Structure 1
Amino acid sequence: MGVIIFLESGKVDMVKIQDGLGDLNISLFGTDDDSSQDRIQKKQEQYEFAKEISTPDGFINTDGSTIEELIGEKIILVDFWTYSCINCQRTIPYLNSWHEKYADEGLVILGIHTPEFEFEKEYANVKRAVEQFGIMYPVILDNDFSTWQSYKNRYWPRKYLIDIDGFIVYDHIGEGGYNETEEKIVELLNERRGVLGEQGNVSINTASPVGVESITDVRTPETYLGAKRVEYLANLPSEKCISMSCTYEVRGEIEQNTFQLQGVWQLRPEESTLISGEGSLFLHFFAGKVNVVAGSETPVEAELYLDGKRVEDEFAGAHVKNGSVIFQNHDLYNLIDLKGDAGAHILEIRVKKSGLSAFAFTFG
């Protein structure tokens, strides 16, 4: 397939990829003249045709959207994302900017929300995140991965551009490539104008939008805390603790890019949950920012310590106040921000009561 693919930072899922659903019917879209037939014939030889949204589980900012109804009228950007993914979150300011600049010019962004964790299937959680990020374009819940599988996707985030004739002409995996993506959007919008007989050209302004987060020198990989993908837990008492509650004690020096638990914790498929009245997570990281995907049914307070000292405001993340963080909504919490000065440190999250579930550490 003659598609441009950029490989940059992104997340790959662990779901088995199945065969995609059938293509939309290209005969639905007009080819009344020889030039249109020639244009579409050339594209058929180079590109795949768009796939339809499959079995949506809910809509936000729209009463319902289909690819079919937009082809022949709009340029479509399909963005696969999930709300607790830091890689996805860092792309949202660009998507919001493109929606603001180009929606009136014929661009429609469809955010396909395909969940990494079970809590991301909850409509209320996704709606809260959409409002928090200021997203105004349509978001479609893809809880069963059917649209994801139709596009044979494996990454969060991933963007596809669909042209006026319904062909997937651009494909970008992960973060970055924003100028290239915007240039392609404008190119397709101008092609659309020509096809529809509209006058003038769409101009481009690739200035970075407000709210863009910079990435520092990250050397610690994304770290999962659930039994299905736990890899860097350094003090598992025994193999039986993969499926039951166990008491954890810190063992010696915590090596870089590993974490240890303290207290009674239960490893569940996606998360580690504190069972005892108090407990800690210790993480030895190399990065400039530390986030944790976590939540609790009731508010849970935790104190943060960096290299043994209570975290001061200078290095506190966005969700930290006076060296503490309150966990409740299942979300991504920014704990540490070293203001661009990435380095190796040990973070302790000292949890004050039971009930906290931690899913993953991510970095920036």
Structure 2
Amino acid sequence: MTAKAELRVEGRLPELGGATAWLHSRPLTPADLRGKVVIVQFCTFSCINWLRTVPYVKAWDRKYRDHGLVVIGVHSPEFPFEHDLQKIKSALGGMGVDYPVAVDNQFAVWRAFDNAYWPALYFVDAEGRIRHHHFGEEDYERSERVIQRLLTETGSSDVDEDLVSVEPDGVYLSADWGTLRTPETYVGYARATGFASPGGLEPDGRTVYVEPSKLELNQWALSGDWTVGEQITTLNEPGGRIRHRFHGRDLNIVLGSRAGAGPVHFLVLLDGEPPNGASGLDVDERGIGTVSEERLYQLIRQDAPMAERTFEITFLDAGAQAYVFTFG
């Protein structure tokens, strides 16, 4: 997008009053924001798709705040643990997110925008009109050009037209879209796909699962004593395992532990061997790691060339809870 590209009016900034709490700000209203360029981003702190946008949004906030840009995060939780205000504060604080965040535990702001995505960006001009939106990741250059255009419309004459320089790493590194062949995989029955253990999932019932002799690409299986809930799959006895056949550079999983269970230790293998140089941030080269809090865990990051691999994670303690696999 060039600085002269036209931006049509898509609607008006709705009220934000449905937020259950605010971080880093008093509650904001459209009237408070009149005269400012605003970007509103919907997020939830365990979402890898949102995490990979964080370095860019933070960089825009730093560069353009003094020119009249206001960045607002709207934290609309996907999983039950993401309703906890202290966990939200801790997660966002650890990422260095210090711009205003509306905590949207009742999805009131989500509904006011008629939103359906994590992440989603809405770009609002100084008159309170939504002029652009972007759903999902990437498109960072176009998004920044929109910010520059809207700031220029306010009369700012000293907006630097260079783009921010961002070099993300860790979980923030963009997916390797050219080699990624595996979609996100939920392990709760409400959205589960690709489940391959014989007999299928038993909703809400304590069940001993076994693995099939072979997994095809994008299939996964359980072994051991598990209870599969709508969103959360919980291990009842030590030694349970999840296996997944995937194709991608990164494998992440959102994990937690049952109340009172304490830390849960686990062992990760890749094609039956320790991951060694393919270990992610949350395991060592032997594949050893610990679930210490509810969040996204990066377990595999491998170098090219990519191929189909079989991932497995064995939990050495009862009480492990799994939510969703994501890939990059």
TM-score, normalized by length of structure 2?
A: 0.92
Compared CA separation, residues 158 and 324, structure 1 to 2 (3 A): same
Compared CA separation, residues 165 and 236, structure 1 to 2 (3 A): farther
Q: Find the aligned partners of 1:344 and 1:84 in 2 and give their Cα distance.
A: 25
**Structure 1 residue 237 displacement after superposition:** 3.1
Structure 1 runs of 4+ aligned residues shifted over 6 Å read: none
**Residue 206, structure 1, aligned to residue 167, structure 2:** no
Compared CA separation, residues 333 and 188, structure 1 to 2 (3 A): same
Contact 1:265 1:274 in 2 (8 A): yes
Contact 2:245 2:311 in 1 (8 A): yes
Pick from 297, 304, 311: which aligns with 2:275?
A: 311
3-state SS in 1 of match to 2:216: coil
Q: Find the aligned partners of 2:198 and 2:53 in 1 and give their Cα distance.
A: 36
3-state SS in 1 of match to 2:192: coil
Residue equivalent to 1:54: 17
**Structure 1 residue 340 displacement after superposition:** 4.4
Pick from 25, 29, 39: which aligns with 1:66?
A: 29
Q: Is there any run of 5+ residues in structure 2 with no aligned partner, and where? A: 2-6
Give the AA of the match of 2:291.
F
Compared CA separation, residues 273 and 178, structure 1 to 2 (3 A): same
Pick from 274, 295, 300: which aligns with 1:331?
A: 295
For 1:94-109, what aligned pairs fall within 5 Å after superposition? Answer: 94-109=56-71
Q: Find the aligned partners of 1:339 and 1:57 in 2 and give their Cα distance.
A: 43
Residue equivalent to 2:4: none
Residue equivalent to 2:319: 355
* Superposed CA RMSD: 1.7
**Residue 245, structure 1, aligned to residue 206, structure 2:** yes
**Residue 135, structure 1, aligned to residue 135, structure 2:** no
**Structure 1 residue 238 displacement after superposition:** 5.2
**Residue 175, structure 1, aligned to residue 137, structure 2:** yes
Contact 1:237 1:246 in 2 (8 A): no
Of Structure 1 and Structure 2, the greater helix share is in 1
**Structure 1 residue 350 displacement after superposition:** 0.9
**Structure 1 residue 71 displacement after superposition:** 1.3
Compared CA separation, residues 201 and 167, structure 1 to 2 (3 A): same
Paired residue total: 314
Q: Find the aligned partners of 2:281 and 2:139 in 1 and give their Cα distance.
A: 26
3-state SS in 2 of match to 1:263: strand
TM-score, normalized by length of structure 1?
A: 0.83
**Structure 1 residue 51 displacement after superposition:** 0.6
Deviation string 1:94-119 (CA, Å, 9 cap, x unpaired) is 00000110111100000001111111
Contact 1:52 1:68 in 2 (8 A): no
For 1:268-287, what aligned pairs fall within 5 Å after superposition? Answer: 268-287=229-248
**Structure 1 residue 207 displacement after superposition:** 3.9
* Greater shift in the superposed pair: 90-99 or 270-279: 270-279
Q: Find the aligned partners of 1:126 and 1:49 in 2 and give their Cα distance.
A: 28
Compared CA separation, residues 255 and 177, structure 1 to 2 (3 A): same
